Amino acid sequence: MPLKLRWPLPAVLVWGAAWALYVGLPRWGIDANLALGAASASGIAASLAGDTWWRRLMIGLGFPLSLLLTQAATLPAWTWLLPLLVLLLIYPINAWRDAPLFPTPKNALKDLAALLPIAQGATILDAGCGLGDGLKALRNVYPNAQLSGIEWSWPLRALCALRCPWARVRQGDIWAADWSGYDMVYLFQRPESMPRAVAKARAELKAGAYLVSLEFEALALKPFAVLNPAQGKPVWVYRLPLTDKEG
């Protein structure tokens, strides 16, 4: 069983490791600016393992912020941009209006296959796949499907591809991508994103395709089905053509 460290110990260990790189690399003849970049990159990489978006930010931003606070008088002006750069790498500005980094719980979709038995080789898209937790949950219930994921953040996309080598994962904007070729689109966004998702599904998804949303309801639509909550998160299922709620 893997060791699970109690918070905030993971953050403290990452910050300490970043400082060790920053201080230690120049002693081995590495340029100080390269040492700064390596230390910051280590924090970014480690932050992707955080289990909530705010913990990821704390892990990733800890080193550059502590550096600025402890050495502000001696650092060049450009280093004040370092925390912002770290933030943008972890959570790109284009994605700020969509969901933060909320992973899909492992068993959140466990009853989906019984409700929606899809054909072998059916195409499923995880729109905003993050680190791949949604893709893993989908694979648990649809092992014979062709799974794809789209993620705007390139570090998250890279980590997702490593975690889900059996899926086609690409970097891109979920709202600019073409949904028309998929039999199912899965979302774990936020309430404000649902009207946009509904409009895109109406415009692009074929008849008989499904729009599946974890936790957040499309308030204007009558659901095809609602699965019982998993860890307090219901699964809302909509089938094309979408049906509006009666006024």
73: confidence class by pLDDT, cuts 50, 70, 90 = very low
Q: Which two tokens stand for residue 201?
A: 């599904």
With residues binned 3-state (H G I as helix, E B as strand, rest as coil), the percentages for the chain, rounded to 5, are 45, 15, 40
**What's the rounded mean pLDDT across residues 97-117?**
78
**Residue written as tokens 């790109």?**
92
Q: What does the pLDDT read at residue 144?
A: 94
**137 vs 154, more confident:** 137
93 pLDDT exceeds 70?
A: no
**Residue written as tokens 């989908």?**
138
1: confidence class by pLDDT, cuts 50, 70, 90 = very low
Considering the chain, tell me which residue range(s) the CATH 3.40.50.150 domain(s) occupy.
Answer: 112-239
212: confidence class by pLDDT, cuts 50, 70, 90 = very high
Phi, then psi, of 237 in degrees rounded to 5: -120, 130
Angle at 153 between CA 147 and CA 154, to 5 degrees: 85
Instruction: Let me know: does 130 contact 189? Beta carbons within 8 Å.
Output: no
179/199 Cα distance (integer angstroms): 12
Q: What does the pLDDT read at residue 142?
A: 95
Phi, then psi, of 239 in degrees rounded to 5: -115, 140
Phi, then psi, of 219 in degrees rounded to 5: -65, -25
**What's the rounded mean pLDDT across residues 148-176?**
90
Q: What does the pLDDT read at residue 77?
A: 53
**What's the rounded mean pLDDT across residues 60-73?**
70
CATH code for residues 112-239 = 3.40.50.150
**What's the rounded mean pLDDT across residues 26-51?**
81
Q: What does the pLDDT read at residue 230?
A: 55
Instruction: Let me know: does 146 contact 122? Beta carbons within 8 Å.
Output: yes
